[in-house]
Structure 1
Amino acid sequence: MADRAKERRDTQYGLLTAIAGEAGVSLGTVSKVVHRRRDVGEATRARIEALLERHGYVRPWEGDRQAPRQILAVFRDLSGPYTLEITRGIVEAAGDMGVEVIVGTTSKRSISGWLEECVEAGARGVIIVISMLTEQDQHRIVEQGLPVVLVDPLSAPSPNIPSIGVTNRNGARMAVRHLLDLGHTRIGMVAGRSHSPAGAARLHGYRAALTEAGIAYDPAIVRATDFDFGEALTATRQILRDREPPTAVFAASDAQALGVLEAARQHGVAVPGELSVISFDDTLVAAMACPPLTAVRQPFQRLGHEAMRVLMRLADGRAPASPRIELATELVLRTSTAPRNAAQA
């Protein structure tokens, strides 16, 4: 089957290359017409469409009208609660639109490999979640007009590739303001990596809230980790050993917040009596934590719907209204935060 797929791909590639030569344009321009991108002149489009028809080219997704429409959803891994929530949002949205979702990861296949799979399988497009695109990947997406939408990319994408996320800075600012309103002034943070736009924005929101309250930023009680339980556990141990440990900690994700809770347990620090903990995400695990986590909620279902909406718009040859979409967050109060007690004053 793999041999047949490769043979079909090579045949299609050879035909499109021949059409590009006959039309006197680049292969990328032919690809844009195949994917019905709008950024091709009408005369050029008409010439290429005529050649496609003359040579009997059939777009993969139009070859079998009874075949279900498909998209690819590619993740760095499938291990965290965030991934589960985003997957559910995409699958539910796709179901509403009559689209099937093929889910994969970059652990065994690179982004470029998934882009190739999109073309080979005749999928409508690809949603790439929390992954790093190489310059070569970005160049191919833009040049060939591949329908691709990024959700929380790990690096700032080309402005020509649409991305979707949430109001990370404002959400983080809201979290820290909640702690400030409870009387906490010594607030630590387990932040995301600086190369991640989401991680950087959440750290900026944390710092902005402190500045507005007239509180100096203290790097001694801030640690940057992946959005990961184990790294957050180690980081929080270091924060709690500071000569003036914080009375509250803001974690940049639920997975990190669980690491904060475990570090507090190991140090014999009561939550929320001695340490208030607030997280960002509000995945299913937030409400099941002990104690249940106060959290900044991401609208995962809406994220899935927006990613699907923008992707299908691209697949139909229409440009998105904006290269970047940010959805609003909200604060969900539970029992992991409490007013600073008298002994901490």
Structure 2
Amino acid sequence: MTGRGKNRQEAQHGLLTSIAAEAGVSLSTVSKVVHRRRDVGASTRDRVEELLARHGYVRPWDQDPAAPRQIIVVFRDLSGPYTLEVVRGIVDAAGELGIDVVTGTTGRRSISGWLEKCVALGAAGIVIVISMLAEEDQRRIVEQRLPVVLIDPLSAPSEDIPSIGVTNWSGAREAVQHLLGLGHTRIGMVAGRSHSLAGAARLHGYRAALGEAGIGYDPAIVRSTDFDYTEALAACLQILRADDPPTAVFAASDAQALGVLEAARQQGLAVPEDLSVMSFDDTLVAAMACPPLSAVRQPFEELGREATRVLMDLSEGRPPASSRIELATELVVRTSTSVRRRVNTA
């Protein structure tokens, strides 16, 4: 942002803050009136509108009818193939609606800070991706009715905050059923952390498929890590060095699956001849891996489109019919999985 743009933004934020104090309402209420939302009382709306006019405030989109509105998308970090796919989906969907996307992370600015930023920018709302919401932030979002949509939250949010994800449990179950159908009965897993809703659901889907096949759960060949390559590599090496190693491994993300492939290489195992590898995500790297990964595909484009649609509806005072939306996954079979050929003797 240029110095002039930053100064203008700070001036606008200061003006709205002053108007909120003069009207005796919160800054978020002023923001709702600025965005012409319907969930503000008539008398409050009239008082704020009068103050906006008196102070000469002009809505950014009224200054230039061709200027697009903005939404903010906040990630825990901007590394990894998953982030790229989610960004692409949201930017493409927003572009079709003439909306600009501002991206950021929680590394240097907290969720609370991003909520303030949203008001200061006059943005339509925020999409928060794979983050843990503090109770205070959730309470503020609900009480002030801030337009916020969560994608794959790490913890279950308030029912008043909409969240969007995929069918993690059934997708994982289908992946393991595919491996079982290839004759694998000794199937390990590099799972996500238990505090992650998506990670926990994928582990439960894995266990459900084994249980339905009459195969007991063996914690010796299951490890939980972040959705991270390096951690998955170390975890899979432990799995492959077990007394009775698996002939197939299911990874809870593409980044983890790449770690599994490297662990197999270090152990002198060929994929899929000695070890079948199944992933979850199907980002661009899945098809580029060696060998290309069989994976559970997340509908990233649809995920971004749905998150953008719900957010814009919220900004106009239209809550979604359901607080939780789950999109269907799809099994994509490539060459990292094959029929069980021989016992893994790693």
**TM superposition score normalised by structure 2:** 0.92
What is residue 46 of structure 1 aligned with on the other side?
A: 42
User: Quick check: 1:31–1:144 contact (8 Å CA) kept in 2?
Assistant: no
Number of residues of Structure 1 aligned to a counterpart in Structure 2: 337
Following superposition, the deviation at residue 343 of structure 1 comes to 4.5
Q: Describe how 1:1-345 pairs up with structure 2 within 5 A.
A: 1=3, 2=6, 5-20=9-24, 35-36=35-36, 38-39=38-39, 45-56=41-52, 58=57, 60-66=59-65, 67-343=67-343
Following superposition, the deviation at residue 27 of structure 1 comes to 6.5
Q: How far, CA to CA, are the matches of 1:303 and 1:343 in structure 2?
A: 40
Q: How far, CA to CA, are the matches of 1:344 and 1:264 in structure 2?
A: 11
Stretches (4+) displaced over 3 A: 1-8, 26-40, 57-63, 342-345
Q: How far, CA to CA, are the matches of 1:185 and 1:199 in structure 2?
A: 22
Q: How far, CA to CA, are the matches of 2:300 and 2:185 in structure 1?
A: 31
- Structure 2 unaligned blocks of 5 or more: none
Identity %: 68
User: Quick check: 2:192–2:252 contact (8 Å CA) kept in 1?
Assistant: yes
Listed one character per residue, the Cα deviations across residues 17-72 of structure 1 (whole Å, up to 9, x for unaligned) are 33236xxxx766665555555555xxxx1111211222235574554243321111
- Structure 1 unaligned blocks of 5 or more: none
Aligned to 1:55, the other structure's residue is in SS state helix
Following superposition, the deviation at residue 7 of structure 1 comes to 4.2
Q: How far, CA to CA, are the matches of 2:82 and 2:142 in structure 1?
A: 28
Distance verdict in 2 for CA 1:19–1:53, change over 3 Å: same
User: Quick check: 1:234–1:263 contact (8 Å CA) kept in 2?
Assistant: yes
Q: How far, CA to CA, are the matches of 1:79 and 1:28 in structure 2?
A: 32
**TM superposition score normalised by structure 1:** 0.92
Aligned to 1:203, the other structure's residue is in SS state helix
When the two chains are superposed, the root-mean-square deviation of aligned CA atoms in Å is 1.9
Q: How far, CA to CA, are the matches of 1:37 and 1:186 in structure 2?
A: 56
Distance verdict in 2 for CA 1:287–1:153, change over 3 Å: same
